[in-house]
């Protein structure tokens, strides 16, 4: 039986997620309903992506008995309230990253999911790419020896995007693009907590971080360093350096389609989209969607690849980075 998806929000990322679902067999994945704040937007989305129902409120989607799992594509200041709405309605949830604005909110969402016995996953799509799977396999086999340094960067000029620079919209480089570097580091170091975090950065006039450089130190003299920015363009690559060699993730490291292992490059192409995408390589969201399906079929409440512990660790490190850089959201003061 197909996994029946409800889509919450008809924005750009939700549009791309719907296109990604179309690259999977329709016998396995179906979009049955979509909800937006304006009914017209939901109806337009439903027509475009073949959903049978369109709702002008999220509450109506939460009440739909035919929805197995909800994809939450609203902006992150609204993740807490929106996730709780669906979780408390006993819906399984795949929520866009970052899962919430800070660790306190993340804990609230995780606690609600446990209490309601539903599946919940933060949509860190990069984790599920074939290239990422191969990285985990190579590391498990000790292909590059003991990892000593992880370096990554994600920097793109986003000053023209209100969502990226306005504090009330959850702006700032760390939560928007830095999370990709942090999740990469955390994946390589297998979810270990860093023993020290050093962050320095500069902020926009709006009070959110424009550019941040973070150094993480792990037990056993292992380091990670990453740069994220919403002000400039960088090559946006990642490198894992071990005692026996290196794994390089060429551009775009957040949605990778190739790896260079000890100098040898391998391609991991993505399916072509059936309609135009808003963001680069968005058909790669198919892999996180399939992970959700597999978890639901096995009765799991979280994914081992992107676990609740992983989400909480990301939020805790993000909080500390923001504290050191001096970025405070209204959600931090509640």
How many degrees, rounded to 5, is the angle at CA 94 between CA 98 and CA 24?
Answer: 120
pLDDT at 75: 97
Strands (E), 97-233: 120-123, 147-155, 196-203, 209-218, 222-229
Say yes or no: do domains 3-126 and 130-267+307-333 share a fold: no
pLDDT at 313: 98
| 3-state class (DSSP) for residue 306 | coil
179, HSE (Cβ side, Cα atoms, 13 Å): 27
Within 10 Å of residue 326's Cβ, how many Cβ atoms?
A: 11
Q: Determine whether domain 3-126 maps to CATH 2.115.10.20.
A: no
Cβ–Cβ < 8 Å for 55, 34: yes
Cβ–Cβ < 8 Å for 306, 127: yes
- Give dist(CA 302, CA 292) in Å, integer: 9
Q: CB under 8 Å to 72, separation ≥6 — which residues?
A: 8, 9, 79, 82, 83, 86, 93, 94, 95, 96
Q: Determine whether domain 130-267+307-333 maps to CATH 3.30.360.10.
A: yes
- Give dist(CA 258, CA 248) in Å, integer: 9
pLDDT at 268: 98
Q: What are phi and psi of 146, to 5 degrees?
A: -80, 125
pLDDT at 334: 80
Q: CB under 8 Å to 190, separation ≥6 — which residues?
A: none
Pick out the chain residues at pLDDT < 70.
none
pLDDT at 107: 98
pLDDT at 279: 98
Q: Spell out the domain ranges in the chain.
A: 3-126, 130-267+307-333
- Give dist(CA 124, CA 321) in Å, integer: 19
- Give dist(CA 86, CA 80) in Å, integer: 10
pTM over 0.85: yes
- Give dist(CA 192, CA 198) in Å, integer: 16
Within 10 Å of residue 219's Cβ, how many Cβ atoms?
A: 10
């Amino acid at each position: 039986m197909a996994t029946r998806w409800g889509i919450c929000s008809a924005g750009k990322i939700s549009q791309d997620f719907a296109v990604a679902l179309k690259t999977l067999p329709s016998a396995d994945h179906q979009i049955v309903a979509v909800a937006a704040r304006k009914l017209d937007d939901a109806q337009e989305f439903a027509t475009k992506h073949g959903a049978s129902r369109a709702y002008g409120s999220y509450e109506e989607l939460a009440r739909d008995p035919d929805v197995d799992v909800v994809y939450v594509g609203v902006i992150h200041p609204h993740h807490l309230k929106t996730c709780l709405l669906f979780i408390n309605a006993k819906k399984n949830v795949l929520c866009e990253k970052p899962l919430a604005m800070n660790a306190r909110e993340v804990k609230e969402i995780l606690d609600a999911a446990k209490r309601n016995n539903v599946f919940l996953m933060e949509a860190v799509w990069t984790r599920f790419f074939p290239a990422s799977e191969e990285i985990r396999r190579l590391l498990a086999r000790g292909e590059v020896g003991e990892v000593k340094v992880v370096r990554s960067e994600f920097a793109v000029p986003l000053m023209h995007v209100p969502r990226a620079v306005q504090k009330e919209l959850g702006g700032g480089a760390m939560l928007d693009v830095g999370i990709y570097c942090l999740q990469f580091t955390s994946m390589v170091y297998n979810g270990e907590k860093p023993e020290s975090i050093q962050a320095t950065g500069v902020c926009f006039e709006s009070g959110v971080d424009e550019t941040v450089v973070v150094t993480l130190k792990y037990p056993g003299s292992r380091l990670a360093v990453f740069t994220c920015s919403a002000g400039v363009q960088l090559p946006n690559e990642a490198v894992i350096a071990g005692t026996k060699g290196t794994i390089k993730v060429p551009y775009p490291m957040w949605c990778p389609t190739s790896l260079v292992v000890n100098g040898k490059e391998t391609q991991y192409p993505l399916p072509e989209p059936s309609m135009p995408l808003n963001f680069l390589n968005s058909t790669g969201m198919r892999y996180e969607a399939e992970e959700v399906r597999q978890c639901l079929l096995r009765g799991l409440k979280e994914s081992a690849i992107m676990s609740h512990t992983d989400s909480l660790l990301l939020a805790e490190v993000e909080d500390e980075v923001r504290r050191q850089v001096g970025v405070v959201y209204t959600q931090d003061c509640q």
